[in-house]
Every structure is written in C-alpha cells, then in structure tokens.
C-alpha cells in the first residue's frame, strides 16, 4: 500500500529550473492553469489522489502571474500561492526563493534565554512594512531583545488587518512588502543577533478571499469553531489538508530562515486522528533540524492548560517547545486593575499569582467557576522555559472593547510592578510592542474587507462580543482606517520623562535577567509567602551560596514588612519605588534579617 500519497503544492521550481504547478482538487473533472498574457490555458493531469500537475514551465518565470481554471467555470488564485501582489481575489504570482543570505552561521539563543518582543507589522512603524521594522533594530538591541514574534502576515483582504483573517497561508502580505522584504528583515535581524518567530494560524481561515471549499473538502462539519466549520484534519481526505499546512510551516522555516512558529489557538485545531497535527508538525520540524543543523521553536497558544502540548513524545505529548501561559497574565492583570468580570472572575488573589509564579498554570486540574468545569493538568514536571508569560499581548489588549493598554488603565507605579513581576519570573518573558516605554496608544481590532455585507457582520459581531465584561465606551469601527491609524505606536517617548524612565527600567531588568540575577527561580525550589489581607507576596529561593528575596506590594498602602529568614544582611538589587525609577520613596541599600522594610504602594523590591 502506497503511503506517499501527498505531494508538494503550488508553483515550484524543479531540478530542471522550470516551474511546475501542482494543485489538490480531488472532485474536479478538469483543471487547467492560466498564465496571464497567454491566450490558451495549459492542461493539467490528475493523479490517483486528486493532485493535478502541469510540468509545462515553458515561458514561466519568477513574476509570472497565474490562476487555476476548475471545470471550465471557476478561475481562481492558487490556494498555495506564495504571492498575491494585487490582493486576495486576483492573480497569483510565481516566486523564486533565491536570496543572498548572510546568516549561514546563525544560531538563536536557547529558548530559556529568550526575551521575546511581539509586534504587528502594520502598526509597529508609521510605514507599516517589513523594511521599516529593520529601522527599529537599534531600539530592540538597546532594550535587550533577542527574539521578535511577528503577528500573522498571511495574505489578507485589503491593506490593513490585525492578522487573523489570512486566506493565503503561503503568501507574505503584499502591502507589507512581500517575499523579498520579509527575507531581508530576517537576514538583518539575524545579523543583529535577534531571532525571528512567526505567528501562524492553522485553526481557521479568514472569510474574504477564502476559496478553499471550491477546491476540495478543506473543512468539516464534524466540529463547530468560533469561525464556523473546522479545518478538516481528521475526516475523509484529511491527509491532504494536513499536508497543505505542514508544507506551509516547513516553508517558513526553510525558505525564509524563520527561527520558530507561534501556533495560534491550538485548542481550536480539531483532530482526533491517531497522530495529532501538532505532533506530526513537531516530528516534521525534528527532521528539518537534522537536515539543516539548526534548532527551531514551536510555541503553542492554548487555553486548555494541558501539558500534553509540550510534553515529550515518550510521555504521550506533542513535543512542542513551549506554550503561552494565560494564567500568569490574568493573575497579574486582575491584581493591578481590579477587573474581575468575564474570564477574569477566576483570578484576583495573591495566592493565584504565587501559584503561577511557581509552576505557570494556576488551573492545573482544579475547578473553574467561569468555565463551570475542572481545567488543566499538572505542570510541575515541566521546565520553566516551556512557558511563555506576558503582562500585555495582542489578544489581551486587542480583544478589549476599546483596545486600551495598561498605561490607560493603571498608574505608573503599577506598570513597573507588573513589568518587574514578569521579568524576574522563571518563565520566558514576552513584551508587547511599545510596552517597554508605556505606550498608551490603543491596539484595536481592525480590518479592511471589500464585501459590504461582511463589513456589516463584523461590525455587529464586534459590538456583541463584550457582553460578559463591564467595559465602558463605544466599540471602535473595525473597518475604519482611523481605528487602524489610532493603533500605531508613537515613537516620541524619549521626550517624556516617565516613558523614557520606564524604558530604562525595562532595559535594566532585562540586563539583570541576562546576567543571571534571577536564575535561582529557574533552578531551585521557589518559596512563597502569601499575605492576602495586605495584598503582599514574598518570593524567595536559595542555594548553597546565593539568595534572592522578592517583595511584591499590590496594595495602595505602605506596608511594613519584616525581613525573615536566617540572620544575614540583604543587599538591594532594585526597587521600583526608588527615585531612580521616578518612584515615591527610596528603599535602603541593605537590610538585616529581623528588621522591617517600608514597601511603597504598588511596588516590587528585590534583595539578594
């Protein structure tokens, strides 16, 4: 029995340097490829598994535009198009992946040492392009970032989208600069010592320009998702849909030299087959590592709190390197904002943060009142670098009704407290663009659809989305260009003292982290002391020669805290309340066990 039933898809250059077209469309009776400018369509031949091939590459070069003609009726772009220069409804473009790379000896920092910076191409700079991001390398290097995570760039309708309406997963968005500019970005960042992680979406496709159903059974009605019918990863013909997305993942890593993938909402990837898509992807990436000699990172976003996603194959896991840990964000967010509606109702206690600081998950098999069920599995046997934590990200900001960031919600002292809590943690920290200087421009949900009926549906749906929250205000119009423009970063932060100081605070803590100042939390038992009534948390760790003590005051009052433990002198590493950081009060440089420290409201202090 032939197991090799899948084929590479798209317009690919063969060993003969000619371009070969391959399309999977198992129910089509006839398929032709049309080259723009040619009068006659070229014939394609079908194999036993529904792949249509055309080896006639005569006259086809990089830049040639083409469409497929199905049954003489539907003239459509290529689902595996690598370039859509004129948008989602127009001609696909043949791409030559040749590029003068300069990163042959590049190796990213180990996952445990990464400081990740999430950014959106369209709003990170005024120009909103891949090339414009390169101009901000100096800023990221000065901050101490060694990995960026780019929100999805798969071709979407129009010229602006927050990223999750892509319909051509192989095509880098044309308005961002397309294939060549993305490769230039990756090469330049590698020269600067910064890894590049790409956010990809394998749980749904956007609504406009999504022609997949005309080609074959890409979707299944077996499962319901927030976006309608699920992608078909385990039903009839699913081998070929899996093949489509697995090829896509490998293309980014191999052809674009991307260092890792962030996999959007993997809990919505419906797959009850014998080998879950995530595990198959992980196995494929293992094979690519052997081929290239380079490590790659797969990071999942999951709301299941299930260590199966990141556990070894030998333990029944999928073998991904890390996953986002929302519990940490929610624990910090509720403590500094007091917001307890919606899913935040499951959080809000100092004990929640203490638990998350020690093991990532709070919900590790315990009951969730919000979900009305037991949630999660025990993460205590997983390494801390398998969990990525944040205090802001595109979801937790962009999915707020008005897209308001923390500086619009909480005080300056609370910003430093939240930042310090994240950056001293044993987990991999991720910053959201602009967070490092207290960006107060919102990051709102925006689209640029061309179908008026779809635009209306999106506008109405967005308005109904926040019923379980008590947020005030009006929902910004997702289709308005102003909503997009309002979401762009304001880079004039150095002229504002508080913002410039916050940047220096982030920079200093990242430097301390890279120097190993907080490594005891990764290697030793973490000891916590919860004082719920005072909204205080002590965190400590020690080995034979080193000690670290963290004091977190989430209250709005000065708290006099006794320094307990063996009799010794503790030295200040940093305190967010110090005047150096525009704080209200200076803490002493040293303190002896048994004495008290007056902790300023909403502050973090670290002694060693």
Confidence (pLDDT) at 462: 80
CA distance 439 to 238: 44
In 363-475, the DSSP E strands lie at 366-368, 373-375, 387-389, 428-432
Give the confidence band of 2 by pLDDT, cuts at 50, 70, 90.
Answer: low
Instruction: Confirm if 330 and 344 have CB atoms less than 8 A apart.
Output: yes
What is the tens place of the pLDDT at every residue in 487-526?
999 999 999 999 999 999 999 999 999 999 999 999 999 9
In a 3-state reduction of DSSP, which class is residue 102?
Answer: coil
Is residue 29 part of the annotated active site? The answer reads: no
426-448 average pLDDT score: 97
What is the tens place of the pLDDT at every residue in 10-62?
999 988 888 999 999 999 999 999 999 999 999 999 999 999 999 888 889 99
Among the residues of 401-476, which ranges form H helices? Answer: 412-423, 452-464
Is residue 301 part of the annotated active site? The answer reads: yes
Confidence (pLDDT) at 545: 92
Tell me how far CA of residue 418 lies from CA of 361, 410, 436, 440, in angstroms. Answer: 18, 10, 11, 16
Active-site residue, selected from the candidate residues 93, 235, 264, 436:
264
Confidence (pLDDT) at 1: 37
What is the tens place of the pLDDT at every residue in 463-482?
777 766 767 778 899 999 99
Q: What is the pTM (predicted TM-score) of this model?
A: 0.97
Q: Which residue has the higher pLDDT, 90 or 3?
A: 90
Query: Sign of the C-alpha dihedral, residues 415, 419, 422, 424?
Result: negative
Structure tokens at 568: 């010794």
Give the confidence band of 293 by pLDDT, cuts at 50, 70, 90.
Answer: very high
Active-site residue, selected from the candidate residues 271, 301, 339, 413:
301
User: Measured over all CA atoms, what is the biggest interatomic distance in the chain, rounded to whole angstroms?
Assistant: 89
Kind and range of the H or E element at 395? Answer: helix 394-398
Q: Which residue has the higher pLDDT, 227 or 430?
A: 430
What is the tens place of the pLDDT at every residue in 347-405?
999 999 999 999 999 999 999 999 999 999 999 999 999 999 999 999 999 999 999 99
Kind and range of the H or E element at 482? Answer: helix 481-485
Q: What is the mean pLDDT of the chain?
A: 96
Confidence (pLDDT) at 160: 97
281-290 average pLDDT score: 98
Give the confidence band of 457 by pLDDT, cuts at 50, 70, 90.
Answer: confident
Among the residues of 9-79, which ranges form H helices? Answer: none
What is the tens place of the pLDDT at every residue in 181-216?
999 999 999 999 999 999 999 999 999 999 999 999
Confidence (pLDDT) at 468: 60
The residues facing 41 across adjacent strands are: none
Residue 532 has pLDDT above 60, yes or no: yes
Name the pairing type of β-strands 116-119 and 168-172. unpaired
62-75 average pLDDT score: 97
């Amino acid at each position: 029995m032939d197991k090799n039933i899948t084929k590479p898809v798209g317009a690919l250059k063969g060993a003969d340097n000619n371009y070969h077209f391959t399309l999977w469309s198992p129910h089509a009776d006839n398929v032709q490829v049309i080259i723009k400018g040619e009068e006659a369509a070229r014939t394609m031949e079908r194999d036993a598994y529904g792949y249509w091939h055309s080896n006639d590459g005569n006259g086809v070069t990089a830049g040639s535009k083409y469409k497929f003609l199905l049954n003489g009726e539907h003239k459509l772009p290529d689902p595996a198009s690598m370039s859509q220069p004129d948008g989602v409804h127009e001609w696909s473009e043949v791409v030559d992946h040749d590029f003068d790379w300069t990163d042959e000896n590049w190796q990213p920092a180990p996952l445990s040492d990464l400081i990740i910076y999430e950014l959106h191409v369209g709003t990170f700079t005024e120009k909103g392009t891949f090339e414009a991001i390169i101009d901000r390398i100096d800023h990221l290097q000065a901050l101490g970032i060694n990995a960026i995570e780019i929100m999805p760039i798969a071709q979407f309708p129009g010229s602006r989208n927050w990223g999750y309406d892509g319909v051509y997963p192989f095509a880098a968005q044309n308005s961002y600069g397309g294939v060549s500019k993305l490769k230039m970005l990756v090469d330049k960042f590698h020269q600067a010592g910064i890894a590049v992680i790409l956010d990809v979406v394998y749980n749904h496709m956007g609504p406009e320009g999504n022609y997949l159903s005309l080609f074959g059974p890409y979707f299944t009605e077996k499962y319901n998702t927030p976006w309608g019918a699920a992608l078909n990863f385990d039903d009839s013909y699913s081998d070929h849909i899996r093949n489509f997305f697995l090829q896509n993942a490998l293309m980014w890593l191999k052809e674009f030299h991307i260092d890792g993938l962030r996999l959007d909402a993997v809990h919505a990837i419906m797959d009850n087959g014998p080998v879950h898509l995530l595990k198959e992807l992980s196995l494929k990436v293992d094979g690519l590592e052997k081929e290239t000699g380079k490590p790659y990172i797969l990071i999942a976003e999951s709301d299941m709190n299930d260590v199966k996603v990141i556990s070894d194959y030998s333990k029944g896991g999928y073998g991904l390197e890390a996953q986002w840990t929302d519990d940490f964000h929610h624990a910090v967010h509720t403590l500094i904002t007091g917001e307890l509606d919606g899913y935040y109702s499951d959080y809000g206690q100092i004990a929640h943060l203490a638990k998350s600081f020690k093991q990532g998950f709070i919900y590790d098999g315990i009951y969730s009142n919000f979900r009305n069920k037991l949630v999660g599995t025990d993460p205590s046997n997983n390494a801390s670098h398998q969990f990525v934590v944040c205090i802001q990200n595109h979801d937790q900001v962009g999915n707020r009704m008005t897209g308001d960031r923390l500086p619009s919600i909480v005080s300056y002292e609370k910003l430093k407290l939240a930042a310090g809590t994240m950056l001293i943690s044993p987990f991999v920290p991720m910053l959201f663009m602009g967070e490092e200087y207290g960006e107060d421009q919102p990051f709102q949900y925006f689209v640029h659809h061309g179908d008026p009926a779809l635009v209306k549906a999106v506008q109405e749906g967005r308005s109904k989305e926040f019923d379980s929250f008590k947020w005030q205000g009006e929902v910004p119009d997702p289709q308005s260009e102003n909503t997009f423009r309002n979401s762009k970063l304001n880079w004039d932060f150095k002229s504002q003292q508080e913002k410039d100081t916050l940047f220096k605070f982030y920079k200093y803590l990242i430097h301390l982290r890279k120097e190993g100042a907080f490594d005891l939390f990764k290697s030793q038992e973490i000891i916590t002391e919860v004082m719920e009534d005072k909204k205080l948390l002590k965190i400590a760790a020690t080995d034979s020669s080193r000690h670290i003590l963290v004091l977190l005051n989430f209250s709005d009052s000065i708290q006099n805290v006794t320094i307990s433990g063996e009799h010794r002198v503790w030295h200040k590493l940093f305190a967010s309340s110090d005047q150096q950081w525009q704080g209200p009060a200076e803490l002493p440089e040293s303190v002896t066990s048994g004495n008290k420290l007056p902790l300023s409201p909403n502050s973090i202090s670290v002694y060693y």
